[in-house]
Amino acid sequence: MGKGGSLSDSVLKKILLSYTYVAIWIFLSFTVIVYNKYILDKKMYNWPFPISLTMIHMSFCATLAILLIKVFKFVEPVSMSRDVYLKSVVPIGALYSLSLWLSNSAYIYLSVSFIQMLKALMPVAVYSIGVLLKKENFKSNTMANMISISVGVGIAAYGEARFDTWGVFLQLGAVAFEATRLVMIQILLTSKGITLNPITSLYYVAPCCLAFLSIPWIFVEYPVLKESSSFHFDFVIFGTNSLCAFALNLAVFLLVGKTSALTMNVAGVVKDWLLIAFSWSVIKDTVTPINLFGYGLAFLGVAYYNHAKLQALKAKEAQKKAQQADEEAGRLLEGREGEGNTKRTESED
């Protein structure tokens, strides 16, 4: 087929790989969410201990990360000073532990579909916190878009058949802590030139999360578990659940590393619709027309937000290419001027 054919083949291969990464991430994210709901929901597996479940995940992920880095040398550890760890990783670990604790707790009180609708507020939280911490510039059109997403989520909440105030509070808290964590990663780690893949991030962050979670666990869940003599640790359920959580961390790195964070945001919207459909058809959660209308409005806002980010990235890339072209042209011009000066010097001689 010649050069044109080989180029189209490589492009096709790249597209297929991107869709494969997206599919893997959606599948694992979907699986972890439904699995956690199954374990925590009182009507299903009936083990309503979200802190304990999160600690099991963190223990499993930390152990695997340590083995992969220290024993099997699969990944090189990142060079990090004690000062950077205390000032950067510890705050991020604290926020991550709070986000996981509250989000897992919400599954006890809310349906999977409604939780996905509330998660549409994530761009609103990230943008608002970014503006407050001066990492984002305030733009009236972006804020108007954030308001439209919030209104959509508000309508979805109004139409929720199984509305639980405490559950909504927990999920909104999880969104706020997760958004703060994402902004803090940008501020604390990116500014210091530190990049962590999922294995190294779990190596540093998971033990930190475990330490933070152990404090509320001792006072909230440990006394209840101690009195519950009927509970026996199910290695199959908790082992496969933890393995899915670890695999999801790897899938996040694969998706973002091979495509972009924007692709993950778009894939997240697809995953949310799939979860809403699954929640309604399989788990038999009630999804009302007002739910769908509200989430549809929020979905349009999120889609526009992702589109605006894509346009901004394209404009930035075009500007970068134009700058590189100008620099290249400048170097060529300097080279020609240098040649001209050399020739004039030779003719004078």
Q: What is the mean pLDDT of each run of 10 residues along the chain (349 residues)?
A: 55 80 90 94 90 94 91 82 87 93 94 91 89 85 89 90 90 93 80 78 90 94 82 87 92 74 77 89 86 90 82 77 71 65 58
In-domain check, residue 348? no
Q: Distance between CA atoms of 180 and 130, rounded to whole angstroms?
A: 8
Domain residue limits at 85: 14-226+236-333
Can you give the pLDDT at residue 43?
A: 86
Residue 231 forms part of a structural domain: no
At residue 269, the pLDDT reads 82
Instruction: Find the DSSP H helices in the chain.
Output: 2-40, 50-66, 82-84, 90-109, 112-118, 122-132, 140-158, 165-184, 198-220, 222-227, 235-258, 261-281, 289-348
pLDDT digits 0-9 by tens, 232-242: 788 999 999 99
CB neighbours (10 Å) of residue 209? 27
Task: For residue 341, tell me if it sits in a domain.
Answer: no
Q: How many domains does the chain have?
A: 1
Helix 198-220 with 235-258: angle, nearest 10 deg: 140
- Domain assignment of residue 6, yes or no: no
In a domain, 5, yes or no: no
The single residue listed with the structure tokens 């670990």 is: 93
**pLDDT number for residue 338:** 60
What's the pLDDT tens digit per position in 294-338? 999 998 988 888 888 778 777 777 777 777 766 676 677 766 666
Confidence at residue 345, expressed as pLDDT on a 0 to 100 scale: 58
How high is the pLDDT of residue 2?
47
**Cβ contacts of residue 110 below 8 Å, gap of 6+?**
118, 162, 164, 167, 168, 171
Whole-model pTM: value is 0.82
Give a yes or no: residue 9 inside a domain. no
346 part of a folded domain? no
CA 86 to chain centre: 23
Does a structural domain hold residue 289? yes
